[in-house]
Structure formats: C-alpha cells, structure tokens
Chains A and B, each alone.
Chain A
Amino acid sequence: MAIRIIAAEASDEQDTSQTKVFSMKGNAAWSGPANLLSSSFVFFLLPGSAAPGSHRVKSNPASSEQEPVTGSEQSWMAGLLEHPGYDEERLRRVSEQLPCRELQAGLLLSLMGQPQQYCYPSLFIYGHRASGKSHVVNVFMKDLELPHVTVSCVECVSVALLFEKVLQSFFGGDAASLLPRSPSLSDFVRIYRQQSSQSPAKQTRYIVMEKAELLRDADVNLLPALLRLQELVKDNVSVILLSEIVWDKFRPNTGCFEPLLLHFPDYSKGELQQILSTDRHPSYSAEFYSSYINMLLGVFYPICRDLRELRHLAALNFSKFCEPVAAGKVKETDTHKLWKYIEPHLKKAMQTVYLREVSSLQWEQMEEHETGALRGLSAHTHVELPYYSKFLLIAAYLASYNPARTDKRFFLKHHGKIRKTNFLKKNEKTSNHLLGPKPFPLDRLLAVFYSVVDSRVAPTASIFSQISSLVTLQLLTLVSHDDQLDTPKYKCAVSLDFISAISRTVNFDIVKYLYDFL
C-alpha cells in the first residue's frame, strides 16, 4: 500500500474529518496575494470552540431540515458513488465527506474505473480555488486506499524531489536511493520500469500533482513526459493534474498527449450556505447559525466566493454575532436586529481582516477589548528619511508625474510666455495619476531638486549615494540598465498619499506643483 505523503494528516475520526481536511487544506495550499500573512490562517478554528470535534452534533431533532444531508439524500448520494470493485461501506463514507461534489466525484470515480483496470493516462482537473479539487481526490485516494502519491509542485523545486517522492511511495525507500545524484527523466523512467517489472501494479497507481501550473516553469520536457508516463513506463499509472488555470495555457507548442479535462464548477450560493452551515456552534440552534451565514454571504458574496476565505471569516466573526444574544438584547429569532448589529462589523472586517490589514489574532483581540482603532499594515507607511532624501523623493515625484515641458512654468521665475489655453488643455487619458509614473533622467531630478530645496546644497557624494539608496529602498526604481553610469533613468514608485505626508513634514505644498491637480 502506498505511503501517505501529506504530513498534515491528523488522526481523524470520521465525523470530524471534514472540517479538519478543509482546515488542513487551508494551511497547506494557501498561497494568496498576501501569502506572507498566511500565518493568520493558523487561527482558523479558534473562536467559539477550540476543539473542532465539537462543531457537529450528531443528533439534533430541531436541525433535521437544516442538515445538509438528510437520510433520503444520503442514500441517493451513496447511490451515485456506486462502483464495482470498491468496498460499498467505504464509498458511503467517502460520499458523506463530499457535500455538493456528488456529480464531480461520481464522474471522477467512473473515469478511474475499478482499481485493477486501466485509467486514462492523465486527467486534468481545473476549477476555482477552494472548489474541492484536491479534497475530492485526496478523500478518494485515502479512503479507498488506492496506491498514490500526492505531490505539490510548489514544494518540488527540483525534479529530483519529485522523482524521489514518486519512487519512494510506490516502491519504498530502496528504489528512491537508486536515483543518481542529479537524476534526469531518463533515469527516473529506467528505475521506475525496473521496479515495476519486479512489482507490477495490481491497482492503478496515481500521481496527483497539485498546483500543476508550476510545471510549466519546470523543464520543458517534464510536462509532456508526465502526460504520457503510462506509455513510457509501461505500467498502470495515471497522472492527475490539479490546477486553477485552464488547460489551453499549458499546451506546449509542439503539442503533447492531451489529458482528459474535468471541470469542478464553483459552489453556488446555496451550496456555500449548505457547506458553511455544517460547522455550526453546538450551543446555538441551526437556524441561528444559518441565518448568520446568510448575513455573512450577503456582505461577502459579491466580492469573494472562496470557500476557505468565507469559512475563515465566518469562524472569526461568529462570536461578535452572538454577543447581543448573550447579553440578552436580542432574541435569537430576531434576524432584523441581528443584522443591524452585525452589518457594520462585517463591513469593517472586509476592509481589515479580509485584506490581511490586521491579522486574525489582532482582530479577535480588537473584538474582546472593543477597540476599533488598531492600525493596519498599510497604516505603517510612514518612513523616517533624512532631510535631503525627502526633497530628492519629492523632486523625483514631481519629475515623474509632471510632463517635462511644464518644468519651466513650475520652477523658473522668469519663464516667459506660456500660452495658458494650450497649457491647460489636458484630457483624462493623459492624466499621469492614471497612467502611472514616467521615467526621467538624473539631470532632471537634480534640476528639480535644486529648485525645490531652499538652501544651497553642494552636489556631494552623499547626495548621489542617497539617490542610490532610495533605489534600494524601492522608493525609486532604476529603469535603464543597472550598469549605466551616465544619465541613468529613474521612476518614482511611491503613492500620492505617501509623498503628501513626506512633503508636509518639510512644509512643502506638493499639490501646488502637480500638473494633474492644477
């Protein structure tokens, strides 16, 4: 039997495993735009109840219509996941773990066929983030005990790691140690063949590749070879690729073996509600929790359909929702009043915790201490700079956002005649605050600098080193080549808010000098 690769496998009892699998997935596979803040997910299950096992109550007569899976539905679902060659009891357990994914799971299972039969050489499963792709596949692999290896392409920074993982889980550690130091695909296929001739596959072996879009950045031959691995190693092996990017963006330019495409559609609003309602708090009724989820979706559904994110937000804000009830101000059934209490709170959550401005832990502390005025991450933009650096940055900003032809008008005392009509004619498309900063040469930066700074400043080495240290601080960016010494070109990379704050500290009115705000 296969050795399980994912380390984040808790000892799961059956009735709690669903929440656990999701939370584990949240930790392992999360790589959002703010992935440096992903540690906030650690506090995923904190509020309300520390133990995820207490989330579900097994028998609650009042909640029977709210439970996602009623008795009759369950048998229907189990009927869908019926396939010869697999243990029925196991299939029933599997289908219980896959709410709202019955169709996809059924299709996948029927494509996989019986364990002894051949499966299609490669399957490509795509769908939005948190649409249950890896969950469905992992539940199948684990609970049906199929020989498999799950590989995240994020972790496999070199192909050697991938080969080692595959060989180790299929044939044990001895096989993996046969690999040479920097193995090529040829070595891998040779050793695989050698091993599989000794222990041929009794059941289809599955290689599950998560985040398969990263395979495109790997060796050019890797993806085409993986897609036809069954043919290359002459073994009953099937590669399952999971990705949120469509297959069209994967295809190499000379073509390859086309995988079977499977789409996991997004959850509808009803399905999201159903799934989110499953991890309700035991001390409150099901209707209460589901009305809470309804309100949460009312606020967040237009911007976010990511189940993981919504789940996280639901867990974070539930204690706030319960507060008026616990204080005895509102009855559980009075949804209108509850909405009035929770709505501003949720709106605030959208601007803070959804954007990872404050971490989940901070958010909870804010709730406890009733302090709303915690400064988020982006409030910390204030930077202490030396006096001349401030002026250099201001000069850079002016040079970047003003067209060069207006410099005369802004910075020269006797600029002669500039026709005003011509000068002020500008349409929206040419507004630099819409188009972004323009590059400027060093000479112009210095010229503007000398005209904005009051005192006489000598162009010492320190001035020039301040310019280059502004580049290292990423407040300026060098647009021309790095090695250019004469007239390098720069761009200013700070926002208007930032530069206004800086110019306020040196008593300089920057808006007066900006062409866009004239």
Chain B
Amino acid sequence: MSKRKAKDAHLPIGECINQVHRILRKRFCHQQLPDKPEGLEAQHKHLMDLLKRAMVHGESNSVLIVGPRGAGKSMLLRSVLRDLSEETEVQKNLLQVHLNGLLQTDDRIALKEITRQLHLENVVGDRVFGSFAENLAFLLDALKKGDRSSSRPVLFVLDEFDLFTHHKNQTLLYNLFDVSQSAQVPLAVVGLTCRLDVLELLEKRVKSRFSHRQIHLLTTLTFSQYLDRVRAQLSLPNGFPDGKFVEEWNATVTTLCEDTSVEEVLQRHYNSSKDFRSLHMLLMLCLSRVSVAKPAITPADLQDASRLCLADAKANMLHGLSILELCLIIAMKHLNDIYEGEPFNLQMVHNEFKKFLQRKSSSLYNFEQPVIMKAFERLQQLELIRPADSSSAKTQREYQLMRLMLDHGQIMEALQKYPQCPTDIKQWATSAFA
C-alpha cells in the first residue's frame, strides 16, 4: 500500500516516533472521526436518510440513538453530519443546535443556549415572553423571516437525552416535539442516550408527540472483528510521511495481533467489555511505552497495560494499610462471619482484637484505645468501612455502627500479598474460631 511513498525521504527515527504519537494520541484521546463508521453501516444509512429528508424536503422528524457508553453514538452522528455537510444544498440551509444534558441543566439555560447558537441574541434582545413556548416559537419564527426561502431546517442534537427528561415538566422536550409534530418549521430532533428505558422517563404527552424512531447501537462484535479493530486502531494511515517506517510499523502491529499471548489478553478485555473507550484506554497505555529506544509495541507492553487496566483498586489500597489497620479489618471480618453481616462498632472490633491478643500473650500489638480509634477512623476515611445509618453526629464515635465494604476474598488476597505479614496474623485471619 505504501509503495508509492517508498521514494519519500526517510525521516529520522525520533521524528517518526513523534508522528506516531501525534497521530495515535489524536485517535485514542481526542476521539478523532474515522473515515467510515465500522459495523454501523445500516444505522448510518438510516440516520442519513432521515436527516436528509428533514433537511432537503422539510420533513420534521425525531429520533433517538440508544446505545451503551462508548458504543459510538456521537461518532455515528458526527460522521453523518460530516457526510451531510458535503452536500451543497444541505450545507446552505442547515442550522444546528447542539445541547448537552450535562451543561444545559434546566430549560432556562437551554433556551439561552439555543438563542445563542441560532445567533438571535439581537433579535430577542430584552423582550419579555410569557411562556417558554412563546419564546421558542418566536425564535423559530425569526429563523423563517431571517432567510428568503421561508423554511430553513433546524437540527437539534440533544446529547445525554435522559438528563433532559429530568427538567421541570419536560417543557423543552414537549415544545421541541410539538413543533416537530405540528409542521411549522422543519425540525429534526436527535437524542443521544445510554438508557434503554428512556421512553419510560418521558411524560405521556411528550411521549405521544415523539415519533418512536429509535436507532440502537448494540455491538455485535465477534472476537475476530475485535482483533481487526485493534489492528486498525494501531495501524498508521497512508498519509504518513515516511513510507518505510509505516510498512515496518504496520507489519509489527500485524504480528503483534497474531501473537497468542496478546490474543489471550485481548480475549480477556473482549469478555469484559466491547466498547471503544476501554479499548482506547488499553492501547493508550501501550502507546505510552513507545519511545525512540523502543520503537514498536511488544506483547509484553500489552500485557503490562492490561494488568494496569484490570488491577483491583481496593487490593491496591489494602496493600498500603498499616499492620494495625489490617488487624482491625481481620477482626471485622471475624465479626461479619460470626454475626452474619450485622453492623459492628469500634468497641466490638476492639474486643475481638483483644481476644486475639490474649490468645497470643504478646504485648507487641497492645495499643491503647485512642490509637485504635485513629486507625479505625483512617479506615472510614478510605471508605473501607461505612456507617450503617446516616445519623453519625448523634452517637459517640466508638458506638457508631459500621459495615465492612470488603468481601472475604479481597481480604484474604490482600493478606497473601501483604509485605512481611506476621505469621500469627495470617493464621488468625484464616482460623474461623478466633
């Protein structure tokens, strides 16, 4: 593929690596648009048709794109919009309004944002409107008047659509859908959400005005496709200045994906999730290890990156506890075993710990109550234990009921990994009857 590039001057290796980082970082971190949405051709066509009809023929439409996080909803929409904007007719007419449920948290802010994005601040000015609908109608009317062809289509994109349903009375949604139903200004409403039950969140009157078109992005990716995707994500594009380097890089990526240990790692990630984002995170960690001294991704890199991604954070935190804190956790575990998950307080934990110390007849860990309380509070700060009821201010600290936020396996694993853990403590943890 890069034969015609081969004649290009070879860049120094440092420059090549620089370029690799630049291109791939843009791909992984900045969510750069791919040339073609992979595996979403049908959805792409559906959305494209719908929007085109709205833009060209002036049909009003509403559609919801539903899919889990990282499934490529925004990517699909953006690529459709990119393709649409290539058509001159659409380009001339189309007005876009992008709203995000995270930012426009109520209808007043949303309306201001709509006004701003339609460049109508000067039209609205200081005028006072009676109702939301009146204001919106005025905005849309202004659009009609603004252009000679009396119907300029507007595209509303509502990202995080489910958050818009929490607005008071769902006024914004009601009005948008109402306009799109009552054939005034051509209006396309596209909602993006990750909630499958989003229709249940809509009020009845809003729901009835919605066209019930939904595009589902549920990945039906097989593992071999997943591997292909990894390869495609890591490969360099044709436009790269140094042809020879591209060839070498792409060859190493191909061999990397055929490696059995790599496949094993990827299978594990595939089993846990199939979305782009977690894949990007993994590849980003691999990429960060590429340097001039090591200009290729090795299977070991991928394994390390995977280990980083899948590490158990709580186990990591348990590793850093002091011996006293660990002893308290073991005591809590025993209390949990004996009283079957009933909440406990500091006195009980201390009592349990004292029993252990008596048995051992050594004063090595004989700490006073305040020292133990400090360790107990440290555990609470780390949220390894949590108050069982919220009335924390009303009871004394030593009698406040707590629950342990760790399970049996995590504690035992942490004990195994704990550096220089005394043997008697290990035994105490394993013995059921303390």
Indicate the size class of the contact surface on chain A: 35 or more
| Cα–Cα, bound, A190→B188 (Å) | 24
Pairwise interchain contact A186-B103, C-beta atoms closer than 8 A: yes
Question: Which segment, of B20-28, B126-134, B136-144, B231-239, faces chain A?
Answer: B20-28
| Cα–Cα, bound, A297→B378 (Å) | 19
0/1 string, B86-105, CB within 8 A of A gives 1: 00000000000000111111
Pairwise interchain contact A378-B347, C-beta atoms closer than 8 A: no
0/1 string, A248-272, CB within 8 A of B gives 1: 1100001111101101011011000
Q: A433-B347, A479-B394 are in contact. Are A113 and B399 (CB under 8 A)?
A: no
Q: Which residue of A lies closest to B30 (CB)?
A: A118
Pairwise interchain contact B30-A261, C-beta atoms closer than 8 A: no
Pairwise interchain contact B109-A254, C-beta atoms closer than 8 A: no
Q: Which residue of B lies closest to A238 (CB)?
A: B29
| Cα–Cα, bound, A39→B151 (Å) | 69
Pairwise interchain contact B313-A126, C-beta atoms closer than 8 A: yes
Pairwise interchain contact B323-A354, C-beta atoms closer than 8 A: no
Pairwise interchain contact A185-B105, C-beta atoms closer than 8 A: yes
Any B CB within 8 A of the CB of A411: no
Any B CB within 8 A of the CB of A387: no
- Which B residues are CB-close (under 8 A) to A230? 29-30
Q: Which residue of B lies closest to A225 (CB)?
A: B102
Q: A120-B284, A436-B399, A437-B399 are in contact. Are A266 and B320 (CB under 8 A)?
A: yes
Interface of A is mostly: loop
Pairwise interchain contact A434-B347, C-beta atoms closer than 8 A: yes
| Cα–Cα, bound, A120→B221 (Å) | 25
| Cα–Cα, bound, A378→B370 (Å) | 10
Pairwise interchain contact A435-B399, C-beta atoms closer than 8 A: yes
Q: A114-B18, A230-B30 are in contact. Are A255 and B194 (CB under 8 A)?
A: yes
- Which B residues are CB-close (under 8 A) to A111? 284-285, 288
- Which B residues are CB-close (under 8 A) to A263? 311, 313, 316
- Which B residues are CB-close (under 8 A) to A479? 394
Any A CB within 8 A of the CB of B381: yes
Pairwise interchain contact B21-A114, C-beta atoms closer than 8 A: yes
Pairwise interchain contact B320-A258, C-beta atoms closer than 8 A: no
Pairwise interchain contact B109-A477, C-beta atoms closer than 8 A: no
| Cα–Cα, bound, A354→B373 (Å) | 12
Q: A113-B25, A258-B278, A355-B370 are in contact. Are A184 and B105 (CB under 8 A)?
A: yes
| Cα–Cα, bound, A114→B290 (Å) | 13
Pairwise interchain contact B103-A302, C-beta atoms closer than 8 A: no
| Cα–Cα, bound, A111→B309 (Å) | 14
| Cα–Cα, bound, A499→B320 (Å) | 39
Any B CB within 8 A of the CB of A360: no
| Cα–Cα, bound, A127→B377 (Å) | 17
- Which B residues are CB-close (under 8 A) to A304? 322
Pairwise interchain contact B21-A117, C-beta atoms closer than 8 A: yes
0/1 string, B18-56, CB within 8 A of A gives 1: 100110011011110000000000000000000000000
Indicate the size class of the contact surface on chain B: 35 or more
Nearest chain B CB to A211's CB is how many angstroms away?
11
Q: A126-B313, A184-B105, A355-B374 are in contact. Are A117 and B22 (CB under 8 A)?
A: yes
Any B CB within 8 A of the CB of A493: yes
Nearest chain B CB to A363's CB is how many angstroms away?
16
Pairwise interchain contact A246-B317, C-beta atoms closer than 8 A: yes
Q: Which residue of A lies closest to B375 (CB)?
A: A303
Any B CB within 8 A of the CB of A385: no
0/1 string, B375-393, CB within 8 A of A gives 1: 1011001110000000000
Q: A131-B320, A189-B103 are in contact. Are A121 and B29 (CB under 8 A)?
A: yes
Q: Which residue of B lies closest to A267 (CB)?
A: B320
Nearest chain A CB to B397's CB is how many angstroms away?
9
Any A CB within 8 A of the CB of B351: yes
- Which B residues are CB-close (under 8 A) to A118? 25-26, 29-30
Nearest chain B CB to A249's CB is how many angstroms away?
6
| Cα–Cα, bound, A301→B321 (Å) | 10
0/1 string, A339-362, CB within 8 A of B gives 1: 000000000001100110100000
Any A CB within 8 A of the CB of B395: yes
Pairwise interchain contact A84-B288, C-beta atoms closer than 8 A: no
- Which B residues are CB-close (under 8 A) to A260? 281, 284-285
Q: A118-B25, A221-B102 are in contact. Are A244 and B382 (CB under 8 A)?
A: yes
Any B CB within 8 A of the CB of A128: yes
Any B CB within 8 A of the CB of A101: no
- Which A residues are CB-close (under 8 A) to B69? 255-257
Nearest chain A CB to B98's CB is how many angstroms away?
10
Any A CB within 8 A of the CB of B433: no
Nearest chain B CB to A352's CB is how many angstroms away?
10
Interface centre among A118, A190, A221, A244 (most CB of B within 10 A): A118
Report which B residues bind A (CB closer than 8 A). 14, 17-18, 21-22, 25-26, 28-31, 69, 100-105, 109, 112-113, 116, 162-163, 194-195, 277-278, 281, 284-285, 288-289, 291-292, 308-309, 311, 313-314, 316-317, 319-324, 339, 345, 347-348, 351, 365, 367-368, 370-371, 374-375, 377-378, 381-383, 394-396, 398-399, 419-420
User: Can you list 19 residue pairs at the A/B interface with Cβ under 8 Å?
Assistant: A83-B291, A117-B21, A184-B103, A186-B103, A189-B103, A190-B113, A190-B116, A246-B316, A260-B281, A261-B308, A263-B316, A302-B365, A303-B375, A351-B370, A434-B347, A435-B347, A435-B348, A436-B395, A436-B396
